[in-house]
Structure 1
Amino acid sequence: MDTDRFSKLPAVIASLVLLPVLLELLAWYIEGEEYDVARAVTVVLVIVALALITTVLGRIRARLPVLLVVALTVTAAGEAVLGFVAAFGPVLWRGGVPGELHGLITAGVSAFAVATGVYLLVQYHRGLYLPYLEAGMGPLPTVTKRRVIGESEILIRTMPDIGPSVEKALASCVAMVDQDDLHFVAYFGDQRCRFYTDVLEDGDLAHFFHETDQEERRTIYLRAGNQLNWLTQRLNRQLRRLEGGVLIRTVLDVERGAMFFYWIDETRYLIGVTLDQRKVDVSDDKMARLVDTIRGHFTLPPINQRERAPKPQGHLRSIPRSERWPESGS
């Protein structure tokens, strides 16, 4: 569900705080009682500013971590200036800040800092310290097809409209997945998943699912792929001075299977998954060939032409204690 988690905050703020203030102003006007207009206007302006801030956060939430850091820095600097004026103003230039205004601003800054800290702690507890990684996923593929190839029933989910080159990439991915080794492949372009295909619902793979079902796994894989892309971009900035080019392959070899991240070009990448630890190398080779095939669809040269070391032939000879070990030459 692609809903804006911040879209309702301005309305909540207005209904809980701003509306009572406006009703109080209306009662003051009708009854003709004394009322501190300056204080009421200050409160209204602060509430309106908070509503505007939440609206802006809702529109550019993909940069929320940066915004939080910048906002905390700015508010801390403003609070420092305000505290200096409140403390030394009456002494240095016989002026200062009204106590109510100082208290209101201090309370607002403190509330913002506490809310930010709680939010980041919740994200950290969920294993996702960077909110961008969730917000940047965008809408997921919804068009579902199923195809039977051999003994495998392959699930295919795509975005509604994909171009001819992406169609070719989809066909290549469908041809690679099977129930023996490569079980899931997702294609990302322009910061969102364009399609994915898998055989996770195959009966031979049922013993790999215990606490999560197939749909949950797909969501986790797509989210992890988004995270890996974000982390890869940051690592590329650090590794740029090594003059080795961009990071084109990352393998998360876990206890049961592995996840593969393969870079295609500046805007595209692939995520692959095998559930079988015995088939990690086979799946890795498949992903490498798949990326080169997809790059060919976009008239790009292959980048994964790697050679594996030849397997040792014959039997290894043990070295007796009386025989000296060969020295390592330079």
Structure 2
Amino acid sequence: MDRDRFARLPAVIASLVLLPVLLEILAWYIEGEDYDVSRAVTVVVVILSLALIATVLGRIRARLPVLMVIALTVTAAGEGVLGFVAAFGPVLGRGGVPGELHGLITTGVSAFAFITGVYLLIQYNRGLYLPYLDAGVGPLPSATKRKVIGESEILIRTMPGIGPSVEKSVGSCVAMLDQDDLHFVAYYADGRCCFYTDVLDDADLAHFFHETDQEQRRELYLKAGHQLNWLTGRLNRQFRRIEGGILIRTVLDVERGALYFYWVDEARYLIGVTLDQRKVDVADDKMAKLVDTIRGHFTLPPINQRERPRERGGRLRSIAGSEPWPESGS
């Protein structure tokens, strides 16, 4: 479920249009006065304008800091031209700008600059460009089915109307899932999640969930998928000079498991998750094979084939007796 709070804001504002109009009509009826149509139209226009602004802000808020800076720059340039005309207009020609108009515009520009500065300072304090990272994930896959393979109960959620190649990709992802290592996989295309599948409801994984339940964790993973795609795009622009190609794999190895970002092609990518810190390498290898398999569904060559020597003990590190053992599969 998309819990984006901005999505409902325009509807709430637009719903308020009826109330003022009904009150105007009721007052006209009770008091027996002539109905002021222009006043009612003004109220409707103002509230509809607010709803439109809320809709626009809800869609562009991911780039709101950049847009605010652009708007501020353009407004400041216009104010500079206006100030020049106001100051030198009477000297260079007969034209000029009335003092009241100039003062009003200057006040507006100053207020806009102040609000923009405060907003950007707040966002900078939270982390640069976090408005995008905090943005909603849009419509999520809703068609749900469950499948039992061996001892694993697998949840599969898809968007309607996926093509045959994506259907094959669903099957490939389901085949890779296991309650022992790879626990969640999501497939994105053209900026949206087309499907995801996981074993998070498996009883053997219940000890991984404390402050968040399975549905909340799924929503967080899907949101992280959008965030990592955006961050990867920014890193790619910075890495062009090293001539190493694009970033095809990102692993966020956290204390309890790992989250994987794997590039498929220009329009597609995968997100994978393991909850078990001891199986980070195993799940990573599975994700690499899965990407090559999915690329094959779209007649693309493999890009992640690699050999990794297996050392005894895998990637387990020694843990001091005084150090608490992370909750990993035991």
User: Would you call these one fold, judging by a TM-score over 0.5?
Assistant: yes
* Residue of structure 1 equivalent to 2:216: 216
Q: 1:5 touches 1:58 (CA, 8 Å); kept in 2?
A: no
- Residue type of the alignment partner of 2:179: Q
The structure-2 alpha-carbon separation of the partners of 1:148 and 1:128, relative to structure 1 and needing over 3 Å to count, comes to farther
CA distance in 2, matches of 1:106, 1:11: 32
Counterpart of 2:252, as a letter, is L
> Which shifted more, 116-125 or 148-157?
116-125
CA shift at 1:82, angstroms? 2.7
Within 2, Cα distance between the matches of 1:107 and 1:10? 28
Residues in 2 aligned to 1:50 and 1:72: alpha-carbon distance in whole angstroms: 21
Q: Counterparts of 1:275-286 in structure 2 under 5 Å?
A: 275-286=275-286
**Unaligned regions of 5+ residues in structure 1, if any?**
16-29, 31-46, 313-330
Compared with structure 1, are the counterparts of its residues 100 and 271 closer, same or farther at alpha carbon in structure 2 (3 Å cutoff)?
Answer: same
Residues 179 and 199, structure 1, Cα contact 8 Å, conserved in 2: yes
- Kept in 1, the 8 Å contact 2:252–2:259? The answer is yes
Q: Equivalent residues in 2 for 1:84-95 (5 A)?
A: 84-89=84-89, 93=93
RMSD: 3.5
Partner residue in 1 for 2:308: 308
Cα distance in structure 2, aligned partners of 1:255 and 1:75: 48
Shift of residue 79 of structure 1?
Answer: 2.2
Residues 211 and 243 (structure 1), Cα distance of their counterparts in 2 relative to 1, 3 Å cut: same
Q: Distance in 2 between matches of 1:254 and 1:161?
A: 35
Task: Indicate conservation of the 8 Å contact 2:257/2:279, yes or no.
Answer: yes
1:247-281 deviation digits (Å, cap 9, x = unpaired): 11001111111110000011000000111111110
Per-residue deviation, residues 191-219 of structure 1 (Å, max 9, x unmatched): 10001111122222222222222222111
Query: What's the CA shift for 1:308?
Result: 1.4
Identity score, percent: 79
Higher mean displacement: 230-239 or 176-185:
230-239
Paired residues for 1:50-199 under 5 Å:
57=57, 63-89=63-89, 93=93, 96-120=96-120, 123=123, 129-133=129-133, 135=135, 137-199=137-199
Counterparts of residues 231-270 of structure 1 (less than 5 Å):
231-270=231-270
Q: Give the CA deviation at 1:72.
A: 1.6
Identify if the C-alpha distance between structure 1 residues 6 and 65 changes in structure 2 by more than 3 Å, giving closer, same or farther.
Answer: farther
TM norm structure 2: 0.73
Structure 1 residues 123, 60: closer, same or farther in 2, change over 3 A? same
Q: 1:201 to 1:128 in 2, by over 3 A?
A: farther
Q: 1:273, 1:11 → 2: CA distance?
A: 41
Is the partner of 1:286 in helix, strand or coil?
A: helix
TM-score in terms of structure 1 length: 0.73
The aligned length equals 282
Runs of at least 5 residues in structure 2 that lack an aligned partner in the other structure = 19-33, 35-46, 313-330
CA shift digits 1:137-178 (9 cap, x unpaired): 331111111122222221111102211111110111111112
SS at match of 1:131: helix
Per-residue CA deviations over 1:15-74 (Å, capped at 9, x if unaligned) read 9xxxxxxxxxxxxxx9xxxxxxxxxxxxxxxx9999987665556555544422321210
CA separation of 1:132/1:107 partners in 2, compared to 1, >3 Å: closer, same or farther?
Answer: same
Contact in 1 for aligned 2:136/2:223 (Cα 8 Å): no
Structure number, greater radius of gyration? 1
Separation of aligned partners in 2, 1:181 and 1:142: 25
- TM-aligned CA distance change 1:309 to 1:225, over 3 Å: same
